[in-house]
Chains A and B, each alone.
Chain A
Amino acid sequence: MNYLPLFTALPLLGAFLTPLLSKIWERLSDIIGSIITTFLLILSIYSIFLLPIFGDLYVYEIGKWPIRPIPLGIVFTFDSLSLLMVLAINLLSFACAVYSINYLDNYTARWKFWTLFLLLIAGLNGVAITGDLFNLFVFIEISAISSYALVAFGVEKEDLEASFKYQVIGEVGGLTILLAIALIYAKTSTLNMADIANTFLNENKGTLFWFIISLLTFGFLIKSALFPFHFWLPDAHSQAPAPISAILSGIFIKTLGVYTLFRLIFNVFGLNRNNAPHYFNLLLILGILSIIITSFITLKQENYKRLLAYSTISQIGYIFVGLGLSNFFGIIGALTLIFAHALSKGLLFLTAGSVEREAGTLDINELTLLKKRMSFYGLVYTLGALSLAGIPPFLGFFPKLFLILGAIKEKMLGLAIILGIFSILTLAYLLKITNKVFTNKEGEEVKENSLSAISFLFLVFLIFIFGIFYFNYLQPNLINKASEVVIRGIEYARLVLMK
């Protein structure tokens, strides 16, 4: 698996080729963008089959600087949890890249979009595979900076306002993470995550340890937009171009906020419910508040994309409930939800882009009066919404099931009921759009675009097929192994350093 650096190197190469080659022919940037995302998708699917051969963990030493006896250089560590994230990132980015080819007709600067898009993908893949703490920060910033620029891509009044707000808040989060990294370095004199885990294992956990944890948690909660740090998300995610909204909402906040928190809390700091019950209860409570409060705000939304953006915050709440429960079912639920939400929320945001193109507006009340029939988009939207709300046989059903089982196992029946009720509320506010925008319409049928239809059908197919074969394929091969990585906790350090 020594192709591991290609996950970041290829999109970086593409990002710097597009400005040069688009001088020859503008459309060349489309071709570079889609070829690179296709290739990344093939690489990540290939890794599913290759990773078990390497014993579910592969360590790549950049520049051949050895990891033993002391880690000198930067390493990439690729285990089942990274595999799950890389797979989700590349499935969604492939669909968004195919969709973007036609969508970009609305904008003038094609190659600028592709450069930023590929930088974003490079950063996300890098966050998922890196095993070095400072390298993690660099990749977080690469993807964050390109996302700030992409939110402002339309350079309308609203886009700029959303981007400025998002940048200031996002960077405060980023700098908090950097401050925590500085303190970790001061304490351990190393930046390799496995080595840090080893060092902290032998120290008693004093005030400084908890100060570092709280700084990191603050930073990552801002990045993952959990309540009460969610206020930037609805603006940023509703103003970005549709494929970017899909990536930001679908996978960006989960890679930068949730995955990194999983990795650091469980594998590096070795926290679990037994040695830090208050920490996990805090995350659990924030998750529940996030679900309850944003669900009611979402019900009142009158804008297509803003409604979807608010619903993302409540789904992040569900993921944090799983993280807070942190028993077997909770972790499986959270990891499956990361995967399922990436595909279905991505799909919903892409339909928003198509509807905006046809109608010129995203205000739900104006869309109700529109004299156009969009039955294909309506069908695709409804399938995505059903999956997101947790209706079997779609993929989105299983995470909700496991989260409720996890709550029952911890003897929190009230929580299980809350999760069930708000899952139904999710269906209510998502189907509000189906009801008002897509049904009982008069007028002519709009023509679908073949490339955007491909990306819709690709995502619908994945949601459906992973839902049908959930217990046969997805759970035993991907989710269970990823949850083992999380549950094994501090064992990660020994495995990485032994390799």
Chain B
Amino acid sequence: MVPYLCCIILFLIGIYAILTKRNLIKIAIGFCLLEYAVNLFFALIGYKKDALAPIYTNVSQSKNFVDPIPQALVLTAIVIGLGTTALLLSVAVRIYEKYKTLDIKEIKRLKE
């Protein structure tokens, strides 16, 4: 149960960072934390205590394997996360070039 709770705490820290931080890079870090929390949670779902890695070996007695599907899905999710993080940071770099600041309070040319 404790690892699941840690995931939720990590998730909440990420949300906190996105909601309260003023620096674009810190928001991006908060987003990364959020993503790691979800990925970790997903990987934990497939975990079983004292189980083997899900690689087929020709053993006679039945073995306890961990569920391989969440691992495959998390790998996909990590790659997607890589793409979004890279895009987020590159947009942040372009914003810095244009505005000469990373403070969201000063980046508000769009209004109601």
Contacts and interface: CB of A to CB of B under 8 A. Distances in A.
Q: Do A and B bind each other?
A: yes
A417 B20 CA distance: 41
B56 interface: no
Given A171-B31, A172-B18, A138 B107 contact: no
Nearest to A135: B76
Interface of B: 11, 15, 18, 24, 27, 31, 34-35, 38, 41-42, 45, 67, 69-70, 73, 76-77, 80, 83-84, 87-88, 91-92, 94-95, 98-99, 107-110, 112
A155 interface: yes
Most central of B35, B41, B73, B99 by chain A CB within 10 Å:
B73
Interface string A121-137: 00000000000001001
Nearest to A310: B112
A356 interface: no
Interface in A155-171: 155-158, 160-164, 167-168, 171
A167 B41 contact: no
B83 A145 contact: yes
B3 to A, nearest CB: 13
Interface footprint category on A: 20 to 34
B109 A161 contact: yes
A161 B108 CA distance: 8
Interface in A10-29: none
Given A158-B109, A158-B110, A164 B95 contact: yes
Chain A residues touching B, majority SS = helix
Contacts of A4: none
A23 B107 CA distance: 37
B95 A161 contact: yes
Contact of B24 (A141, A155, A164, A179): A164
Contacts of B18: 168, 172
B7 to A, nearest CB: 9
A161 B107 contact: yes
Contact of B110 (A138, A175, A186, A235): A235
Most central of B18, B24, B35, B84 by chain A CB within 10 Å:
B84
B92 A297 contact: no
A178 interface: yes
A178 B42 contact: yes
Contacts of B107: 161
Given A172-B34, A179-B41, A149 B87 contact: yes
Interface in A169-189: 171-172, 174-175, 178-179, 182, 185-186, 189
Contact of A160 (B38, B76, B98): B98
Given A161-B109, A172-B15, 12 more contacts: A141-B80, A145-B83, A148-B91, A152-B94, A156-B98, A157-B98, A162-B110, A164-B88, A178-B77, A179-B41, A189-B67, A191-B69
Most central of A152, A162, A239 by chain B CB within 10 Å:
A152
Contacts of B83: 141, 145
Given A167-B91, A168-B27, A168-B31, A161 B110 contact: yes
14 contacts: A141-B80, A145-B84, A148-B84, A149-B87, A161-B107, A161-B108, A162-B110, A164-B91, A171-B88, A172-B34, A178-B38, A179-B38, A186-B45, A189-B67
A164 B92 CA distance: 7
A185 B110 contact: no
Contacts of A235: 110
Contacts of A155: 94
A172 B73 CA distance: 18
Most central of A172, A174, A182 by chain B CB within 10 Å:
A182
B88 A168 contact: yes
Interface in A435-449: none
A189 B76 CA distance: 18
A182 B35 contact: no
Q: A-B pairs with the 7 shortest C-beta distances?
A: A182-B42, A186-B45, A141-B80, A160-B95, A235-B110, A157-B98, A175-B38
B94 A141 contact: no
A345 to B, nearest CB: 20
A440 to B, nearest CB: 29
Contacts of A168: 18, 27, 31, 88
